[in-house]
Amino acid sequence: MMKMLVQIVFASLMVISFLTPGYHGVEIIGGNDVKPHSRCYMASIQIFNNRKKAYAHQCGGTLIDRNWVLTAAHCNLEFGKNKIQVVVGAHSLKINETTKQIPAVQDKFPYPCFDKSTGENDIMLLKLAQGAKLNEYVTLLKLPNGKDVKSGTSCTVAGWGITSAQSKDPSDTLKEVKITVIDRSVCNRKDYYNLKPVITTNMICAGDKKGKSDSCVGDSGGPLLCKKKFSGIVSFGFKCADPKKPGIYTRITEDYLKWIKKTVAGVETYNTEPEILY
């Protein structure tokens, strides 16, 4: 579920115009259902499907403030063309859970230097039209300190993405999987990504040597937690669960943290003080 996203079923809704047709980041492969409402900061970003007359899950996200969701820039939410909403407090996307809150999205703030061709700077903030009400089912995830994550570190990623490379539909329930950080020098080797694109220090390469665990279509934008700390954002990959094409995650660096603070502070100037946890 966790790689950069190219859901066939939601192809018209999702953006995989980066790199190649195999570019994804939307599903949790080899994972398990999370304990219901144990990841209360998770958000499902959804776009209205005019043909089906219903909202459909497009990307994951993380609630970092009652008014703000952090996700991936490649999720390409086209305001004016699509109705967009965020669902928080959910475990199942289909069941009408009383714990759900569904605020509309007021505006988007992709990182200014996002590069579609390389996946560099794949990070975006969404401003909610109505602030989420924090409770036992809806909480914030604390932002990290911006330090790099060492290779060999065990991490987890969660999402509602597809659960197998052959699947077309997203998971109804939130799933998670354990993966391991791989050194960038390995991921840039000829038998891995071969510098196409270059896996930079703004990215984290993580997966499973046997190809049994990964993120995939529908997981894009969701959080990567390493040692229980918010370390990255599901960005992209090729072929879900391919051991030589691990998932690539946007690393939440010090520069991104500065941008987040500046963006939120600028918008919140005439509203309430931001509640972001640093």
CB 240, CB 27: distance < 8 Å: yes
Taking CA 94 as the corner, what is the angle to CA 208 and CA 232, rounded to the nearest 5 degrees?
A: 35
| Beta bridge pairs of residue 146 | none
Dig out the tokens for 273 from the structure.
Answer: 């003080």
Residues 6+ apart with CB under 8 A from 175: 1, 28, 31, 32, 33, 34, 158, 159, 160, 163
pLDDT at 20 (0 to 100): 36
Confidence of residue 32 (pLDDT cuts 50, 70, 90): confident
Burial class (CB within 10 angstroms; exposed 0-12, middle 13-18, buried 19+) of 261: middle
Q: What is the pLDDT of residue 30?
A: 58
Please state, as a whole number, how many other Cβ atoms lie within 10 Å of the Cβ of residue 195: 11
Q: How confident is the model at residue 79 (pLDDT cuts 50, 70, 90)?
A: low
221-252: per-residue pLDDT in tens? 999 999 999 999 999 987 666 788 999 999 99
CB atoms inside a 10 Å sphere around CB 83: 13
**Which residue type sits at 152?**
G
C-alpha dist (Å) from residue 104 to 82, 129, 199, 219: 12, 5, 34, 20
Q: Which residues are catalytic?
A: 74, 122, 220
Q: What is the pLDDT of residues 198-223, one digit of tens each?
A: 999 999 999 987 765 545 545 799 99
Helix (H, G, I), strand (E, B) or coil at 184: helix
Token output for 79: 């305001």
Position 6 pLDDT exceeds 50: no
Domains located in the chain, CATH noted:
40-142+254-268 (2.40.10.10)
Residue-wise pLDDT tens digits, 82-106: 789 999 999 999 999 999 999 999 9
Band (15; pLDDT cuts 50, 70, 90)? very low
Q: Residue range 178-207: average pLDDT? A: 96
Q: Strands 23-24, 229-238: parallel, antiparallel or unpaired by DSSP?
A: antiparallel
Distances (CA, A) of 217 to 44, 116, 130, 162: 13, 17, 28, 6
